[in-house]
C-alpha cells in the first residue's frame, strides 16, 4: 500500500537543470528517486541502500544499476560509495542546508537564552520599581490624607509633624484645642485648619503663654551689704 500525506519537496529548478542536463533520462529519474528517499527520511544527508533494494527502487537489472551509478559518479552529481553489497548516496545540497539550519538553530537558542537571562533581572527590577512606586503612593496617600486631631480640627500628617518640629508637640496641642473650641462655639469652618493655626492661633497661644509667665506685680527687697 502506497504511503499517504508525504511532505512536499522543494525543487530548485535552476540548480537541478544545470546539474542534471548532462544525465540520461534514466539516470536523472534514478537520482530523483534517491532525493525523494532522503527527503522522506527527514531530509537526511545520506542514505545507505542494499544493492538489491536499489535495483527494486530503480526497477532495473544489476547491470543497469551499475551503469547508472557510474553515470552519476562521472558527472559528479553526488558522492557515491559502494561496498559489502551496499550503495551509499550523499546529497551535497541537503548537507549544506542542514548545516545552515543547525547554525541558525544554535544561534536562535543562544539568543533566546541570552534574552531570558537579561529579561529576568529586568523583570525583577521592574517588579521592585513597581513595589517602590506602590509604597511611595501609599506613603503619599498617608501623608496627604487629613487626620482628626480634635473633634473639629483636621490636619494632614505632614502638617502636624511640621508644626511639632517648629513649636513642640505640647504647644501645638494647645493650638489645636484653641482652634477646636473656637470652631465649636462659633460654628466657623476653615478650608484649611493648618492655615488657621498658622495665621492666628499660634499668635493667640503665644500671647496666653506670655501673660501666664510674666508676674502681675514685682516686689523687690533691698539686700543689706
Q: Is the pLDDT of residue 1 over 70?
A: no
Average pLDDT score, the chain: 83
pLDDT tens, position by position, 212-221: 655 554 444 4
**Ranges in the chain annotated CATH 1.10.10.10:** 13-95
Q: How far from the centroid of its chain's Cα atoms is residue 123's Cα?
A: 6
Residue 42: which pLDDT band, with cuts at 50, 70 and 90? confident
H or E stretch at 90? strand 86-90
Q: Which fold has domain 13-95?
A: Arc Repressor Mutant, subunit A (1.10.10)
pLDDT tens, position by position, 149-180: 888 899 988 889 889 999 999 999 999 998 99
Q: What whole-number distance in Å separates Cα of residue 44 and Cα of residue 189?
A: 89
Least confident of 112-121, 130-139, 193-202, 215-224: 215-224
**For position 165, what pLDDT does the model report?**
92
Q: Lay out the sheet containing 80-83: strands in order across.
A: 46-50, 86-90, 80-83
* Backbone torsions φ then ψ of 48, nearest 5 degrees: -110, 120
Is the pTM for the entire model greater than 0.85?
Answer: no
Contact 86, 48 (CB under 8 A): yes
Which range has the top average pLDDT, 65-74, 90-99, 160-169, 211-220?
A: 65-74
Amino acid at each position: 500500500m502506497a504511503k499517504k500525506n508525504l511532505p512536499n519537496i522543494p525543487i530548485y529548478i535552476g540548480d537541478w537543470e544545470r546539474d542534471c542536463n548532462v544525465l540520461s533520462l534514466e539516470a536523472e529519474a534514478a537520482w530523483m528517486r534517491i532525493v525523494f528517499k532522503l527527503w522522506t527520511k527527514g531530509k537526511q544527508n545520506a542514505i545507505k541502500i542494499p544493492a538489491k533494494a536499489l535495483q527494486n527502487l530503480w526497477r532495473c537489472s544489476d547491470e543497469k544499476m551499475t551503469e547508472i551509478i557510474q553515470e552519476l559518479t562521472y558527472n559528479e552529481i553526488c558522492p557515491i560509495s559502494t561496498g559489502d553489497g551496499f550503495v551509499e548516496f550523499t546529497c551535497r545540497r541537503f548537507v549544506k542546508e542542514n548545516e545552515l539550519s543547525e547554525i541558525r538553530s544554535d544561534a536562535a537558542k543562544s539568543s533566546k537564552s541570552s534574552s531570558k537571562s537579561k529579561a529576568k533581572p529586568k523583570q525583577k527590577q521592574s517588579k521592585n520599581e513597581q513595589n517602590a512606586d506602590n509604597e511611595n503612593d501609599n506613603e503619599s496617600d498617608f501623608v496627604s490624607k487629613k487626620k482628626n486631631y480634635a473633634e473639629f480640627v483636621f490636619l494632614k500628617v505632614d502638617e502636624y509633624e511640621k508644626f511639632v518640629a517648629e513649636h513642640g508637640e505640647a504647644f501645638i496641642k494647645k493650638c489645636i484645642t484653641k482652634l477646636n473650641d473656637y470652631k465649636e462655639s462659633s460654628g466657623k469652618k476653615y478650608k484649611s485648619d493648618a492655615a488657621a493655626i498658622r495665621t492666628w492661633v499660634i499668635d493667640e497661644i503665644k500671647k496666653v503663654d506670655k501673660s501666664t509667665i510674666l508676674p502681675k506685680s514685682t516686689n523687690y527687697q533691698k539686700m543689706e551689704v
